[in-house]
């Protein structure tokens, strides 16, 4: 007779020593001090560094919300043990709205179109219905409201099921997920266009929203794999099995290919059309040391992870997957730099203390909020009827 499975209580979690509880606060404080120093020395550099870090962490929140949505839409069973983690990460999106406030104050300094004259800028004139200050702030408020509503409702019904165990909670989550996936698609596209693509408002691309989406899910899958390792090792979610790790690794490989397909397609279509209002975006990113960043993305975002994850067995080898997770984080940040920084540093990539400070401040702040929410409830759905399907493999 096997021993009963036990979980670690919220106050007995193995990794919950005082240093680990304090670490996010320390990182956020160091980041805040660095941001203050950066603001006094070069406020515009800090603005773009902050935007880069913001879009980096936003992608993880949006990727988590997407995985929760498709979990309910497809009635997947394998992802139940890790779903509560994803719900808590998705619930950071409303707090991202608060972290967006500094960008609202910096907007005129970050987005050239905000101070340009539509009468002398034809590209801005034909897009003026979209690219104006009122639309920027209204759309920003709407997308954060959508993300907040979806993440809150999905987590609310999930936590309620812990108490009642009723199937009505499962049905409620499906009802929110079905229309939610459409709201998610439109809102993510709007956010990517207004906050990143509009840095160079003259540019046209119908694939930019999908491009940001693919990168968001890519880094989220890697992050979730790492979180699952920690939750398994600390016995907080002991029912995590080979099945969960294998599927996360397989999806990471799938989105490695999907992202590469989207990025190549965008580049190929623009190159093939050879229209100046489209090609200038890539021409800028082939100048100076940015050309090396282009090659780094080709190798780092596709070749290296694709070849590494191609074997079936490596998806279950933690000695391989942990370096892959670190690699994905690094390359995704380089990707965000590639999209944002050429506007301010046209001659090449130029690392700054503000880059690190913004990452530490936003990342530390979100980690504090996440840990508080994560400890508030069970680390996994207690009474989800599909849990048996997830643990029997």
Residue-range domain boundaries for the chain = 23-387
Q: What is the pLDDT of residue 14?
A: 42
| pLDDT surpassing 60 at residue 261 | yes
SS3 2: coil
Residue 303 DSSP one-character state: I
Per-residue pLDDT averaged across 64-81, rounded?
95
SS3 92: coil
Helix H segments across 207-241? 208-233
More confident residue, 389 or 31: 31
CB contact at 8 A, 154 and 72: yes
CB contact at 8 A, 144 and 93: yes
Using the structure block, give the residue that is written with the tokens 């200038």: 280
- H/E stretch holding 115 reads none
Using the structure block, give the residue that is written with the tokens 């050429």: 342
Q: Among residues 58, 334, 69, which one has the least CA distance to residue 188?
A: 58
Distance CA 360, CA 36 (A): 13
CB contact at 8 A, 107 and 135: no
Distance CA 288, CA 266 (A): 22
| Interacting residues of 196 by C-beta distance below 8 A, sequence separation 6+ | 51, 55, 208, 212, 339, 340
Distance CA 295, CA 345 (A): 18
Q: What's the distance, CA 97 to chain centroid?
A: 14
Using the structure block, give the residue that is written with the tokens 């002991």: 238
> What is the tens place of the pLDDT at every residue in 297-343?
999 999 999 999 999 999 999 999 999 999 999 999 999 999 999 99
- Burial-class residue 7 by CB neighbours within 10 Å (0-12, 13-18, 19+): middle
- Helix 290-298 × helix 318-340 angle, to 10°: 140
In this prediction the pTM is: 0.93
Using the structure block, give the residue that is written with the tokens 């890697």: 222
Summary count for the chain: helices (H), strands (E) = 16, 0
What band does 18 get if pLDDT is binned at 50, 70 and 90? low
Q: What is the pLDDT of residue 220?
A: 98
| pLDDT surpassing 80 at residue 15 | no
Q: What is the pLDDT of residue 1?
A: 32
More confident residue, 137 or 15: 137
Distance CA 260, CA 343 (A): 23
Residue 343 DSSP one-character state: G
In this structure, the number of other CB atoms found within 10 A of the CB of residue 152 comes to 16
Q: What mean pLDDT, rounded, does the chain reach?
A: 92
| pLDDT surpassing 50 at residue 11 | no
Q: Half-sphere exposure of 173 toward its Cβ, with a 13 Å CA cutoff?
A: 27
What band does 13 get if pLDDT is binned at 50, 70 and 90? very low
Q: Which two tokens stand for residue 255?
A: 């989105």
Q: What is the pLDDT of residue 4?
A: 38
Q: In this structure, is the dihedral angle defined by the CA atoms of residues 40, 367, 59 and 56, taken in order, positive or negative?
A: positive
> What is the tens place of the pLDDT at every residue in 152-205?
999 999 999 999 998 899 999 999 999 999 999 999 999 999 999 999 999 989
What band does 292 get if pLDDT is binned at 50, 70 and 90? very high
Using the structure block, give the residue that is written with the tokens 């009468």: 119
Ramachandran category for residue 342: left, alpha or beta (phi over 0 → left; psi -120 to 50 → alpha): alpha
> What is the tens place of the pLDDT at every residue in 357-369?
999 999 999 999 9
Distance CA 50, CA 99 (A): 10
Per-residue pLDDT averaged across 216-236, rounded?
96
């Amino acid at each position: 007779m096997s021993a009963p499975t036990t979980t670690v209580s919220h106050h007995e979690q193995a990794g919950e020593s005082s240093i680990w509880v304090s670490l996010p606060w320390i990182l956020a404080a160091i980041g805040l001090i660095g941001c203050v120093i950066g603001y006094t020395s070069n406020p515009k550099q800090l603005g773009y560094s902050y935007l880069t870090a913001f879009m980096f962490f936003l992608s993880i929140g949006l990727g988590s919300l997407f995985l929760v949505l498709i979990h309910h839409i497809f009635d997947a069973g394998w992802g139940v043990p890790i779903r509560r983690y994803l719900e808590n990460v998705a619930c950071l999106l409303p707090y991202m709205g608060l972290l967006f406030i500094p960008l609202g104050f910096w907007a005129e300094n970050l987005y050239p179109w905000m101070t340009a004259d539509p009468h002398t800028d034809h590209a801005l004139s034909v897009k003026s219905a979209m690219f104006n200050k009122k639309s920027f702030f209204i759309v920003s408020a709407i997308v954060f409201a959508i993300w907040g509503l979806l993440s809150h409702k999905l987590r609310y019904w999930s936590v309620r099921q812990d108490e009642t165990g009723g199937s009505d909670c499962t049905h409620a989550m499906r009802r929110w997920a079905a229309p939610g996936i459409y709201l998610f698609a439109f809102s993510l596209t709007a956010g990517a266009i207004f906050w990143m693509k509009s840095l160079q408002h003259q540019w046209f691309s119908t694939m930019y929203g999908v491009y940001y989406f693919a990168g968001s899910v890519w880094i989220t899958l890697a992050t979730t794999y790492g979180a699952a390792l920690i939750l398994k090792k600390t016995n907080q979610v002991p029912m995590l099995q080979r099945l969960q790790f294998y599927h996360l690794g397989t999806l990471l490989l799938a989105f490695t290919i999907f992202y590469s397909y989207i990025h190549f397609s965008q580049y190929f279509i623009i190159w093939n059309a050879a229209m100046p209002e489209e090609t200038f975006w890539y021409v800028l990113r082939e100048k100076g040391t940015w050309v090396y960043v282009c090659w780094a993305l080709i190798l780092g975002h596709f070749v290296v992870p694709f070849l590494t994850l191609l074997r079936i067995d490596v998806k279950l080898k933690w000695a391989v997957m942990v370096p892959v997770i670190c690699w994905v984080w690094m390359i995704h940040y380089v990707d965000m730099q590639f999209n944002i920084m050429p506007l301010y540093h046209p001659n090449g990539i130029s690392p700054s203390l503000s880059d690190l400070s913004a990452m530490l401040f936003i990342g530390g702040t979100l980690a504090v909020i996440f840990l508080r929410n994560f400890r508030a409830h069970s680390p996994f759905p207690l009474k989800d009827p599909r849990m048996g399907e997830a643990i029997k493999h």
